[in-house]
């Protein structure tokens, strides 16, 4: 029969601590050291309205700068115009992106009507020639690869 006294003689407390440190440091070397994927907006187009309000199709170019394939479990994303979140969505339909390749991934997104109204209100008196945008995405991977957060900012010319 194993008692706590027997365990202390087999694994003294210092030994347990060293064992735990060794196991944890071994796990840290198992996680891959990845460069984040490069995500750029390829195109944005509106889709025909089908009852639930305006929808958009966003095409993203995802570049994998790593030697290992990226097995993406899902992406959540938002697009802001003038610091107002007007488009958001999620998808779990992303192909595996092999090492040192790129894929164009098409996503569907919904519009936040209240934020669009606020955006229109803030544009009311201004004569802006361009709009600032921010695209942010959270990419979750299958396996031990840590979540990546991507952001792209820029301007959209209105004329």
Coil vs helix vs strand at 133: strand
CA distance linking residue 81 with residue 134, whole number of Å: 7
10-34, pLDDT tens digit by residue? 555 555 555 565 655 555 445 567 7
CATH code assigned to 38-157? 2.60.40.10
96-136: per-residue pLDDT in tens? Answer: 999 999 999 988 888 888 888 888 888 776 667 788 899 89
Dihedrals φ, ψ of 31, to 5°?
A: -65, 130
pLDDT of residue 28: 46
The CA distance from 26 to 22, in Å, is 6
Residue 137: pLDDT over 70:
yes
How far is Cα 36 from Cα 41, in angstroms, rounded to an integer?
Answer: 16
Judged against a pLDDT cut of 50, whether residue 94 lies above it is answered with: yes
Cα separation, 152 vs 92, whole angstroms: 21
If one counts every other C-beta atom within 10 angstroms of the C-beta of residue 110, the result is: 14
Q: How many helices (H) and strands (E) does the chain have?
A: 3, 7
């Amino acid at each position: 029969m194993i008692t706590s006294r027997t365990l202390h003689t087999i694994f003294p407390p210092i030994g347990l601590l060293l064992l735990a440190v060794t196991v944890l440091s071994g796990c840290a070397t198992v996680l891959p050291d990845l460069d984040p994927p490069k995500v750029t907006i390829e195109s944005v187009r509106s889709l025909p309205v089908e009852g639930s309000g305006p929808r958009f199709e966003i095409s993203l170019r995802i570049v994998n700068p790593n030697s290992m394939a990226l097995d993406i479990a899902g992406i959540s994303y938002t697009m802001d115009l003038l610091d107002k979140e007007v488009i958001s969505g999620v998808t779990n339909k992303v192909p595996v992106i092999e090492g040192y390749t790129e894929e164009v991934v098409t996503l569907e997104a919904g519009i936040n009507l209240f934020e669009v109204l606020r955006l229109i209100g803030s544009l009311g008196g201004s004569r802006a020639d361009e709009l600032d945008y921010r695209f942010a995405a959270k990419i979750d991977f299958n396996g031990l690869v840590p979540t990546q957060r991507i952001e792209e900012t820029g301007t959209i010319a209105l004329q």
